[in-house]
């Protein structure tokens, strides 16, 4: 066993996983925690990290450094994604993290973000049956959708990713860009749909959505929508992880969350306070992606009927990458 620590710093949240990694690629959680720090606050508009966002995030990094020492993490990997890719003053942030944690900050490209998310997400699926060489049925293709604060990754493949694309649409980015009303107006929601549809028009040249036989959604927006669809009375990651819901139920929950005023969203027992102001934009993104996949798979003769949610995502992929085998990268560029 090797005790590893994975830190994923996104646009909305920073997360830590400390786990024991065995020699066969298995992970056993020791500690899993999240803080909503909104590092990407204003980055879509200004192209820079604000001082407040830096202060909040670095305070969380200090707490995570203490936890890594307390739990005896032998290997640490810190990855940063969309907001850090976009910020002109990212060196101010990355240099400070190195000083606190003693490891480099890897500002990873969309391809690697997608591959790591894919690797983590597939742990929510039951073990696949061995392929029958005589059977001519095409092998199943998993489409993993990582819906983050600043970007949304699409990655498709069987057991390894085969193609991926990172879209610059995320719940924080599009909420800041489009929403000023409470609840959001139909014109604001239409603007988000338009942004996502335009990004999907480009993404589908790289990722063939019609091949998807299973859709797996990851990250906080998707898990919160799933909690709503399941009717949970508290946020229960065990109930959420691996849940497989009818597409129609997921789309109904997306619609409900976009129409709620803030006071109702705040009262939901599974809603993290840091997601209240961005869940509507996230729900529109998720619904728009699912509608596009449903149209593509229906045209291919195998319509999408179910949607799976995984609590395991890029964070688990980062932890697994601290073993001897690096993550497979998709063949298609981002």
Separation CA 262–CA 182 (nearest Å): 6
Count of CB atoms situated within 10 Å of the CB of 110? 24
Q: Yes or no: say if 31 and 15 are a contact pair by the CB < 8 Å rule.
A: no
Judge if 198 and 243 occupy the same domain.
yes
Write the pLDDT tens digit of every residue in 243-284: 999 999 999 999 999 999 999 999 999 999 999 999 999 999
Kindly state the average pLDDT of the residues 199-203. 97
Could you tell me the pLDDT band of residue 324, with boundaries at 50, 70 and 90? Answer: low
Judge if 187 and 155 occupy the same domain.
yes
Using the predicted structure, report yes or no on whether residue 125 has a pLDDT greater than 50: yes
Judge if 304 and 163 occupy the same domain.
yes
Write the pLDDT tens digit of every residue in 299-323: 999 999 999 999 998 999 999 888 8
Judge if 165 and 42 occupy the same domain.
no
Residue of 289, 31, 319 whose CA lies nearest to 146: 289
The tally of domains found in the chain comes to 2
Asked if omega into 12 is within 30° of 0 (cis), the reply is no
pLDDT at 130: 42
Q: Yes or no: say if 163 and 330 are a contact pair by the CB < 8 Å rule.
A: yes
User: Which positions ≥6 away from 293 have C-beta within 8 Å?
Assistant: 143, 209, 212, 215, 304
Q: Can you give the residue range of the structural domain that contains 74?
A: 2-107
Q: What is the dihedral of CA 48, 53, 54, 59, to 10 degrees?
A: -170
Judge if 158 and 59 occupy the same domain.
no
Separation CA 305–CA 137 (nearest Å): 19
Judge if 176 and 247 occupy the same domain.
yes
Q: Is residue 301 part of a domain?
A: yes
Separation CA 34–CA 213 (nearest Å): 31
Could you tell me the pLDDT band of residue 329, with boundaries at 50, 70 and 90? Answer: very low
Separation CA 125–CA 191 (nearest Å): 34
Write the pLDDT tens digit of every residue in 1-60: 899 999 999 999 999 999 998 877 788 999 999 999 999 999 989 999 999 999 999 999
Write the pLDDT tens digit of every residue in 63-118: 999 999 999 999 999 999 888 998 999 999 999 999 999 999 999 988 888 889 99
Could you tell me the pLDDT band of residue 138, with boundaries at 50, 70 and 90? Answer: low
Please count the residues of the chain. 334
Using the predicted structure, report yes or no on whether residue 325 has a pLDDT greater than 60: no
pLDDT at 226: 98
Could you tell me the pLDDT band of residue 192, with boundaries at 50, 70 and 90? Answer: very high
DSSP state of 34: E
Kindly state the average pLDDT of the residues 134-145. 74
Separation CA 231–CA 233 (nearest Å): 7
Residue of 334 and 42 predicted with greater confidence: 42
Judge if 49 and 31 occupy the same domain.
yes
Judge if 93 and 120 occupy the same domain.
no
Instruction: Give the CATH number for residue 180.
Output: 3.30.420.150
């Amino acid at each position: 066993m090797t005790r590893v620590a994975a830190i994923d710093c996104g646009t909305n949240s920073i997360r830590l996983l400390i786990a024991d990694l065995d020699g066969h690629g298995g992970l056993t959680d020791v500690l899993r925690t999240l803080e909503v720090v909104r590092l990407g606050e204003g980055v879509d508009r200004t192209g820079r990290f604000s001082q407040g966002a830096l202060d909040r995030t670095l305070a969380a990094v200090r707490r995570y450094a203490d936890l890594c020492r307390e739990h005896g993490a032998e290997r640490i990997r810190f990855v940063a994604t969309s907001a850090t890719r976009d910020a002109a003053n990212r060196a101010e942030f990355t240099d400070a993290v190195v000083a606190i944690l003693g490891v480099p900050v890897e500002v990873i490209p969309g391809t690697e973000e997608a591959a790591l998310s894919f690797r983590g997400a597939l742990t929510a699926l039951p073990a696949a049956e061995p392929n029958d060489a005589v059977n001519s049925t095409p092998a199943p293709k998993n489409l993993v959708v990582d819906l983050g604060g600043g970007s949304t990754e699409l990655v498709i493949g069987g057991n390894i990713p085969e193609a991926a694309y990172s879209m610059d649409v995320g719940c924080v980015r599009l909420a800041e860009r489009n929403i000023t009303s409470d609840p959001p107006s139909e014109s604001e929601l239409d603007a988000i749909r338009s942004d996502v549809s335009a990004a999907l028009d480009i993404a589908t040249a790289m990722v063939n959505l019609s091949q998807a036989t299973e859709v797996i959604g990851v990250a906080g927006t998707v898990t919160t929508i799933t909690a709503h669809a399941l009717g949970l009375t508290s946020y229960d990651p065990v109930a959420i992880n691996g849940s497989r819901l009818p597409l129609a139920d997921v789309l109904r929950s997306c619609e409900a969350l976009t129409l709620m005023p803030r006071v109702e969203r705040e009262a939901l027992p599974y809603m993290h306070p840091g997601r209240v102001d961005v869940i509507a934009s996230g729900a529109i993104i998720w619904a728009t992606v699912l509608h596009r996949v449903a149209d593509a798979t229906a045209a291919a003769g195998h319509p999408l009927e179910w949607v799976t949610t995984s609590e395991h995502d890029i964070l688990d992929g980062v932890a697994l990458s601290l073993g001897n085998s690096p993550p497979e990268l998709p063949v298609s560029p981002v």
